[in-house]
Structure 1
Amino acid sequence: MLDEALIAARLAAHGIVPDAKQRDAIAALAALFGPATRRNHSRYQGVYCHGLPGRGKSLVVDTVFELADCRKRRLHFHEFLREMNRRLVSEPRGDDRLGSVSTQWLDGIELLCFDEFHVHDIADAFLMGRFLDTAIRLGTRIMLTSNYAPDGLLSDPEFHERFVPTIEQIKRHFRVIHFDGARDYRFGGEAQPSPRFFSPLDAVTSRALQDLFLRYESSGALQAAKVNAAGRPLTARAVGAALLWADFETLCVESRSHLDYLDLAERWQGIIVDHVHTKWLTKPQTLQRLVWLVDILYDRKRALFIASDQPIHAALRGLEGAHDLSRTLSRLAQMQSRTYRNTLDAAIDRPTSTESEPQRHA
């Protein structure tokens, strides 16, 4: 069994003293790794942590995941859907293709961690229901974080009843814990030494973005180029080895899916999103694409820079039409703070091989 005191100590290093619900989650998560005989007699096969954004769900679960000594996998829900759909395309026809693909996908995995679990689409609901059935049958331990209570999944009244059997499965086999703390840990952190978000869209901002790009891409060229995003063309203002600079219209106003953003996040360590005109954010589809982009970059710990006609937080507050917008605001707050350790800055700060060698004296 994992040591609860060790988990709490790791959280303390991040400035979190667990509250009552976080302590409940730590105990439930640690119990997943007790002796096999104890687990077999336990009612629960997984832990479902839900609550408002920034309440420490992912940090608690990720800490336990890091300490777990077993064959394990953690991934964002968008990434999981992409993998499953790719496998389904290549799976031979049969009576239960989804069950077969789920079994193959889970092969060798003892612990599975889904971050930001959500179900908004009936096709995803059908896939997820069959996948969870398979995981429960195989005895895979599962840790989930979500902004939704189980009963809030697939809230569309037209389809919700069809997902109720899976919701009941979750309630039977998972310990459900509501993180109900008042504090959003992502707000109030010390800001980065250099700005991440810029406004308004003027000559000062334009020059700042040029300087920013050249800071990370000293050999890069400030010229437009075309790249592919999940097989679709995307025109960029500039393309470097680590940093991509593109307009919001190209990234989020044009028709794109989460697959495009997964592809971009796998190829670049950071993205500059330029010329965000906030009038576009009133369109639900455009706003939803921004939510996907932020989610995926945050999960991959990529750097994000935004230039908009008014401060981006002010522009987003009070908008409607996209799922999980409150999480986007919370994540944007952390992405401009010192506590957000992104891979772009990590790559720049990493010493080269020559620098790490000891000096030799004649």
Structure 2
Amino acid sequence: MQEIHHRLRDLQGRQNPLQIIGKDIASKTKLLCLDEFHISDIGDAMIMRNLLESLFTEEVVIVTTANWRPDKLYEHGLQRARFLPTIDLIKAKMSVVNLDAGEDYRLISLEKAGVYFRGSQNEVESSVMNLFDLLSKENKHSEMIELQNRSVLTKMVSKEVIWFHFDEICDGPRGKDDYIELAKQFHTVFISRVPKFDKDKDNARRRFTWLVDEFYDRRVNLVIDSEFALTSLFTDSLGGTEKDRTESRVIEMQTARYLGEAHLP
């Protein structure tokens, strides 16, 4: 979707830009496969109907997976009523197949590889530092880096491994482009002191979700330390389907299988 938004900016002032984008995609692609289709951003939600209509008009075949049925897409999202016609379009144009086996084996049986450190800062700092030293090898130091022309303070950085305090990377003026840029540059990212996401942390929670999504897509290794268990980071009343997806992805990102996959910068 980031690419679609970039194209829309390039086509600013043109009539029916999403039709132009749909025709361009169709000229190169007859079968479009999307893994884990979800909508979490109001900007994506507002353009999705016209984008899908354009692709369907151009006879692009779309195959996608999702963790929930269409009626649950963008649940609790801003101005969701304006997104409901998109859900109707999906249900009218696509066949929905339920593959739920009753258990999420990814959460139950995958072996954890020890990249989620739970405890106070004093309890986990040395273990996290030892892992950073092991992965970075070359010279490492704390410094300011530039992300989208904004300065960000690191706890430690080396050539392909970087370490942030949570507040620095998720509790400030950060956007998806920041996380895409990080995912391109670093194969491993450490984040310390991830908090429990109660109501006053809603903006930080949203940014953390964006970060996890971008890192997951590019197979970035994510090392986290927190005082809280992963499954208690989100309160039940916050996050909706985003909560389930983010928890599931962070759990998978701890597995030997995920960690063994190649970085996709």
Closer, same or farther: CA 281–219 of 1 in aligned 2, 3 Å: farther
User: Hey, what does 2:157 align to over in structure 1?
Assistant: 239
Contact 2:183/2:214 (CA < 8 Å) preserved in 1?
Answer: yes
Contact 1:302/1:342 (CA < 8 Å) preserved in 2?
Answer: no
Size of the alignment, in residue pairs? 262
Indicate whether 1:189 and 2:117 are aligned: no
Contact 2:198/2:234 (CA < 8 Å) preserved in 1?
Answer: no
Write out per-residue CA displacement over residues 246-266 of structure 1, whole angstroms, 9 at most, x where no aligned residue. Answer: 110111111322222122111
CA distance in 2, matches of 1:277, 1:125: 28
Alignment of 1:211-230 (within 5 A): 211-221=130-140, 223-230=141-148
Secondary structure in structure 2 of the residue aligned to 1:178? coil
User: Hey, what does 1:315 align to over in structure 2?
Assistant: 233
Secondary structure in structure 2 of the residue aligned to 1:254? coil
Closer, same or farther: CA 264–319 of 1 in aligned 2, 3 Å: farther
Letter in 2 for 1:190: E
Which moves more between the two structures, 158-167 or 288-297?
A: 158-167
Gaps of 5+ in 2: none
Letter in 2 for 1:186: R
Shift of 1:311: 3.0
User: Hey, what does 2:51 align to over in structure 1?
Assistant: 131
Secondary structure in structure 2 of the residue aligned to 1:316? coil
Closer, same or farther: CA 182–160 of 1 in aligned 2, 3 Å: same
Closer, same or farther: CA 168–199 of 1 in aligned 2, 3 Å: closer
Shift of 1:285: 1.4
User: Hey, what does 1:208 align to over in structure 2?
Assistant: 127
Indicate whether 1:82 and 2:2 are aligned: yes
Shift of 1:167: 2.4
Alignment of 1:83-102 (within 5 A): 83-91=3-11, 93-102=13-22
Q: TM-score, normalised by structure 1?
A: 0.65
The percent of aligned pairs where both chains have the same amino acid is 27
Indicate whether 1:263 and 2:184 are aligned: no
Runs ≥4 in structure 1, deviation > 4 angstroms? 279-282
CA distance in 1, matches of 2:200, 2:3: 31
Secondary structure in structure 1 of the residue aligned to 2:62? strand
Contact 1:150/1:171 (CA < 8 Å) preserved in 2?
Answer: yes
Secondary structure in structure 1 of the residue aligned to 2:39? coil
Secondary structure in structure 2 of the residue aligned to 1:190? coil
Gaps of 5+ in 1: 1-80, 348-362
Secondary structure in structure 1 of the residue aligned to 2:190? strand
CA distance in 1, matches of 2:47, 2:6: 13
User: Hey, what does 1:178 align to over in structure 2?
Assistant: 98
Shift of 1:318: 3.5
Shift of 1:306: 0.6
Contact 1:291/1:322 (CA < 8 Å) preserved in 2?
Answer: no
CA distance in 2, matches of 1:144, 1:109: 15
Closer, same or farther: CA 201–101 of 1 in aligned 2, 3 Å: same
Shift of 1:238: 1.4
Secondary structure in structure 2 of the residue aligned to 1:224? coil
Alignment of 1:158-177 (within 5 A): 159-177=79-97
User: Hey, what does 2:244 align to over in structure 1?
Assistant: 326
Indicate whether 1:252 and 2:170 are aligned: yes
Letter in 1 for 2:10: S
Alignment of 1:43-122 (within 5 A): 81-91=1-11, 93-122=13-42
Shift of 1:123: 3.5
Shift of 1:331: 1.9
Shift of 1:128: 1.3
**Considering only aligned residues, what root-mean-square deviation do their CA atoms show, in Å?**
2.5
Contact 2:76/2:240 (CA < 8 Å) preserved in 1?
Answer: no
Secondary structure in structure 1 of the residue aligned to 2:255? coil
Secondary structure in structure 1 of the residue aligned to 2:98? strand
Closer, same or farther: CA 232–148 of 1 in aligned 2, 3 Å: farther
Which moves more between the two structures, 247-256 or 279-288?
A: 279-288
Write out per-residue CA displacement over residues 300-346 of structure 1, whole angstroms, 9 at most, x where no aligned residue. Answer: 22111111123333333646246510122222222222232345xx5
The structure with the larger Rg is 1
CA distance in 1, matches of 2:209, 2:28: 33
